[in-house]
Amino acid sequence: MNSIASLALALSLVPIAVYVGLPALSDLWALGVSLREPQSGKLPEPKSLPRLLFLVPAHNEKLLIDRCVHSLFAQAYPREALSIVVIADNCSDETSALALAAGARVLERSTSVDHGKSHAIRWALKELTDDFDAMVIIDADSVVDPDFARMLAMTPGLRTVAVQAYDGLNNEFENALTRLAGVLTRARYHVALRIKSAARLSCPLTGNGIAVGREVLERFGWSPQTVTEGWELYVSLTLAGVHCVYCPGARVEAQETRELGQSQSQRARWAAGRMHVLRLYGREILRAPGIGVLQRLDLLAELSSPGPIVRAGITFVGIAACVLLKPVGYRLLLFLFSSGVVQPALYVGIVMPTNPQPFRALAAFAYLPVYAVWRLGVAVQALIQGGGNVWVRTDRRVDGG
């Protein structure tokens, strides 16, 4: 390969290599910062328990809504400090009756416009007059740990921050697909978010297990307009100077899809939604005053990352091109591409010894080639959607059914 062709190839590979390597570079920088930061010890118990408003947006959730509500009433927390409200959003089934029977207060919403979770939350906040210190969003297919409220209450300055709970899976060991998703979830919450938290970075908000302090809501309202409300809230609040805190002790577990076809629209919506948020806020991330370079880098890494599986696929193609064609600066390109595999593999290796079923979890990686091809298809679908903002409900089922 002549020098001009070699340079042209290198220039074409650089943006792809940076795209793949950005999450690893951000986490590596954050790790370095965290090692220099003094780490706080055990959090003190709050002098007075904050009042928590749990909102459960539900659209035709008759299969699982009573289980979710029962888990909220099982909190090891004073009952008088909790409000549990189900938003029956355009339901045509028995969601309202079942939620009422389980003990929740129910707000029924019926509209032909503004469908979806974020609109339902905004509407409910206008309807409610409850006095609370923080609002907590719980998906209707979730089971909330009994210590969730108590652990959340220990968050310093709860009224002035947003909080992300540990958003795990309640059917992690159902089949190979759910075990694989469980490993990736553990790597995310046990390693990646702990690094960000230790570096004092704002942590991403997933949409389930989010708590928003009362003063934040009074200042900004419920602002998200996209179907990936967690990602939009994370970016908009971080840019506004509101810290998004990770609280690993507050655990909520939701139902993971057990078949690829079942989760196709959900995964495509998540990927397209992140692209949409990146387009909406990309320039502001680069220009907004008051946030550091590392926080900007991490915001961009979180919004642009295609996920560990697609990253790995791009990585192998990039490595092959570097090894076979050796363009200008190929060693640096190899480093960036390799990080797309090394980082997630390292995180998986860290969490695997704590997995309750480590050998079955490892065996699930035999399913990885099929899953990788499927995830690539989802990424293509998301690109075709172009960051669409259409909400599509994911089918539910009774666990084991």
The per-residue pLDDT for range 245-273, each reduced to its tens digit, is 999 999 999 988 888 766 666 777 777 78
**156 and 65 share one domain:** yes
Residue 400: band (very low, low, confident or very high) from pLDDT cuts 50, 70, 90: very low
Position 3 scores a pLDDT of 83
Residue 401: band (very low, low, confident or very high) from pLDDT cuts 50, 70, 90: very low
The answer as to whether 228 is a domain residue is: yes
The per-residue pLDDT for range 120-173, each reduced to its tens digit, is 999 999 999 889 999 999 999 999 999 999 999 999 999 999 999 999 999 999
Q: Which residues make Cβ contacts (< 8 Å) with residue 127, sequence separation at least 6? A: 107
Q: Which of 35-39, 107-111, 226-230, 397-401 has the lowest mean pLDDT?
A: 397-401
**374 and 253 share one domain:** no
**208 and 339 share one domain:** no
**234 and 294 share one domain:** no
Q: Answer with the residue of higher pLDDT: 176 or 161.
A: 161
The answer as to whether 27 is a domain residue is: yes
Structural domain span for residue 161: 52-261
**122 and 213 share one domain:** yes
The answer as to whether 147 is a domain residue is: yes
Q: Which residue has the tokens 């899809």?
A: 257
The answer as to whether 45 is a domain residue is: no
Q: How much of the chain exceeds pLDDT 70, in percent?
A: 91
Position 376 scores a pLDDT of 78
Does 218 have pLDDT greater than 70? yes
Does 186 have pLDDT greater than 90? yes
Q: What is the CATH number of the domain that holds 95?
A: 3.90.550.10
Total structural domains in the chain?
2
The per-residue pLDDT for range 88-120, each reduced to its tens digit, is 999 999 999 999 999 999 999 998 788 788 899
Position 38 scores a pLDDT of 75
If you average pLDDT over every residue of the chain, what do you get?
89
Does 34 have pLDDT greater than 70? yes
